[in-house]
């Protein structure tokens, strides 16, 4: 776990993120962003820094990276031509996975995506537009590669 701590100490100090270690010995990083639902993925400085550190970690260790996108606007999915929120969140997670692979040289076989059909708000978010915007997030789970 020492290598994890080295990479994520800087990450936590630099970026506005939540980082936690789950009981399953995985690291969970939550990146908040208010542009996730706009149709293009444009990471801010904090996200780019986080992605660079994740890239360094993935090249140094054999890890799995799981991306999960949470967008709180249910009506956005149908307005943008998606059948449901699950499909919309899947699409957004795929864009981020492609960016990690293309821009940060993380092999696609190390990245998987998950989508949820039900929005799970952050504890401090509210039903106001500002509260919902603060709930737009990318959850990244990093865990040691499972033995197969």
> How many structural domains is the chain composed of?
1
- 36 DSSP assignment: T
How far is the CA of 36 from the CAs of 52, 104, 143, in angstroms?
Answer: 19, 19, 24
d(CA 77, CA 74): 6
**Digit-coded pLDDT (tens) for 38-87:** 566 778 888 888 899 889 888 888 888 998 887 766 667 777 888 888 88
For residue 28, the surrounding DSSP H or E stretch is strand 26-32
Which CATH number belongs to the domain containing residue 103 in this structure? 3.30.1330.60
Confidence of residue 145 (pLDDT cuts 50, 70, 90): confident
Q: What is the pTM of this model?
A: 0.71
d(CA 101, CA 111): 8
Confidence of residue 106 (pLDDT cuts 50, 70, 90): very high
Q: Taking the CB of residue 42, how many other CB atoms lie within 10 A of it? A: 11
- Residue 129: phi and psi, rounded to 5, are -55, -40
At 141 the three-state DSSP class reads strand
- Could you tell me the residue range of the domain that residue 27 belongs to? 2-144
């Amino acid at each position: 776990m020492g290598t994890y701590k080295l990479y994520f100490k800087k990450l936590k100090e630099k970026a506005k993120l939540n980082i936690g270690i789950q009981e399953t010995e995985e690291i969970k990083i939550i990146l908040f962003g208010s542009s996730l639902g706009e149709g293009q993925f444009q990471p801010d400085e904090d996200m780019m820094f986080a992605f660079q550190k994740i890239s360094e970690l993935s090249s140094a260790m054999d890890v799995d990276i799981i991306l999960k996108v949470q967008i709180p606007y249910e009506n956005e999915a149908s307005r943008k031509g998606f059948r449901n929120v699950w499909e919309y969140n899947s699409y957004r997670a795929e864009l981020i996975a492609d960016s990690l692979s293309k821009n940060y040289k993380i092999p696609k076989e190390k990245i998987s995506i998950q989508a949820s059909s039900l929005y799970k708000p952050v504890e401090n978010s509210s039903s106001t537009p500002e509260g919902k915007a603060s709930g737009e997030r990318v959850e990244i789970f990093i865990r040691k590669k499972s033995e197969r």
